[in-house]
């Protein structure tokens, strides 16, 4: 795509796909915008930027005024799921306030979703320190579908919002009637009202799984070795592996000595953000696996936030994740393609190891509802695991 854009003040700029020869100018842009504090490798390191631009899964677009790069945004595509992600948006300070990013993102998502039709949904996560990024995306057609409390630490811990853009045909092959535990009903109701979805099947009773001993994990944080083992597992034992987390590669592995239980995850060492990519669980009690993993992740990797994607059609996993204190953050209809080419709803569930603080949060209406659903679930979970104190008769009597 090469296109001239006329901004509201009649400024004329060019939108084009980034090429290797643009890398130096692109890195200079990120350096100016983020004052050398940006942590993303492709926005700070030439080798990483070139690798990303040359990737067939990357759609990196830049905006130019004459020959100067004044805007940049990256789109990644998970081709197997027809799913996109937009991130790393930056506009040069002297061109901010001209709606440049609005026009850049609008042109690209419309092309990817409805013109070239290479993906059905494109998502972004937005900082909630202000309304700005949420509103910019909503004006383009993104829909707010969740809130991630304590997800990232910049100056301090921040909560981010989930925004999703859908193509015109994204829901045509969506699997209907998700199967949910009662605690997730309110979360689904928010998405149901937004999209006029059908009622979910609510499963009131599921058998309890017997408690098991703590799983003692060994860990490997050699990223290259972890990815090598992970790829070998997928090739040899794919049927034993579960989990889904797009656009992330594992850089850490936790495993039991007998190799019956493994968890592959991605950890950001700078802020303690951890995403569960895939796992093998031969233990009957998935709750125990998650609790054992979280203890290990906090102790050896200093994890502060752990996120897990859970299918809206797997009530057993929903229940056991909730019992491991993973709370529902977002509801993403039609997120993943199954083997039949149908789209499946997913939810993000997260566990935070630091105190929640929403004093400086700014949320659009939908995300406010998701935060309320999250806190309702948090409160009921706290009550469940903290039994009331029963005073012994006569203990304070004379």
pLDDT digits (tens, 9 = 90+) for 231-275: 999 888 878 889 999 999 999 999 999 999 999 999 988 778 899
Residues of the chain with CATH 3.40.630.30: 2-91, 179-385
Dihedral of CA atoms 383, 385, 390, 391 in degrees, nearest 10, equals: -90
The answer to whether the CB of 350 falls within 8 A of the CB of 329 is yes
**Three-class SS state of 189:** helix
Residues ≥6 apart with Cβ < 8 Å to 284: 209, 210, 212
CA-wise closest residue to 352 among 147, 87, 88, 155: 147
Helix axes 315-323, 286-301, angle to 10 degrees: 50
Please report the pLDDT score of residue 384 as a whole number. 66
CATH number 3.40.50.1820 is the correct assignment for the domain at 2-91: no
- Among 5-19, 32-46, 190-204, name the one with the lowest average pLDDT: 32-46
Measure the CA–CA gap between 48 and 389, rounded to whole angstroms. 56
How, if at all, do strands 179-180 and 201-202 pair?
parallel
pLDDT digits (tens, 9 = 90+) for 77-121: 999 999 999 999 899 999 988 889 989 999 999 999 999 999 999
Q: What is the CATH number of domain 179-385?
A: 3.40.630.30
Question: pLDDT class for 147, splitting at 50, 70, 90?
Answer: confident
* Ranges of H-type helices in the chain: 23-34, 46-54, 100-110, 132-140, 185-195, 223-237, 286-301, 315-323, 365-385
Task: Give the chain's end-to-end CA distance (angstroms, integer).
Answer: 85
Residue 2 C-beta-side C-alpha neighbours within 13 Å: 2
């Amino acid at each position: 795509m090469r296109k001239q854009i006329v901004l509201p003040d009649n400024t004329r700029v060019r939108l084009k796909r980034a090429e290797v020869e643009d890398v130096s100018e692109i890195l200079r842009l990120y350096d100016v915008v983020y004052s050398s504090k940006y942590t993303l490798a492709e926005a700070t390191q030439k080798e990483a930027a070139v690798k990303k631009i040359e990737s067939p899964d990357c759609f990196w677009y830049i905006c130019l005024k004459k020959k100067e790069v004044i805007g940049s945004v990256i789109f990644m595509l998970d081709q197997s799921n027809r799913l996109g992600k937009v991130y790393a948006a930056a506009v040069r300070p002297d061109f901010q306030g001209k709606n440049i990013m609005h026009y850049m993102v609008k042109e690209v998502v419309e092309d990817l979703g409805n013109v070239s039709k290479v993906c059905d949904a494109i998502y972004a996560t937005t900082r909630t320190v202000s309304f700005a990024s949420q509103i910019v995306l909503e004006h383009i057609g993104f829909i707010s579908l969740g809130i991630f409390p304590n997800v990232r630490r910049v100056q301090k811990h921040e909560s981010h919002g989930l925004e999703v853009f859908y193509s015109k045909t994204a829901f045509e092959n969506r699997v209907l009637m998700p199967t949910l535990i009662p605690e997730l009903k309110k979360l689904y109701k928010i998405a149901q009202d937004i999209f006029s979805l059908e009622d979910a099947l609510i499963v009131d009773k599921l058998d309890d799984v017997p408690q098991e001993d703590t799983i003692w994990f060994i860990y490997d944080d050699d990223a290259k070795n972890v990815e090598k083992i992970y790829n070998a597992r997928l090739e040899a034992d794919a049927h034993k592996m579960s989990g889904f987390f797009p656009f992330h590669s594992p850089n850490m592995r936790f495993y039991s000595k007998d190799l019956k239980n493994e968890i592959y995850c991605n950890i950001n060492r700078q802020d303690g953000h951890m995403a569960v990519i895939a796992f093998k669980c031969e233990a009957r009690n998935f709750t125990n696996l998650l609790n054992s993993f979280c203890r290990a992740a906090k102790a050896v990797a200093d994890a502060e936030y752990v996120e897990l994607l859970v299918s809206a059609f797997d009530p057993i996993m929903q229940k056991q994740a909730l019992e491991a204190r993973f709370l529902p953050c977002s509801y993403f209809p039609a997120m993943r393609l199954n083997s039949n080419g149908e789209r499946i709803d997913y939810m993000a569930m997260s566990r935070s190891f630091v105190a929640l603080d929403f004093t400086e949060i700014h949320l659009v209406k939908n995300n406010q509802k998701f935060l309320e659903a999250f806190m309702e679930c948090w409160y009921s979970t706290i009550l469940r695991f903290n039994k009331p104190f029963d005073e012994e008769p006569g203990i304070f009597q004379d």
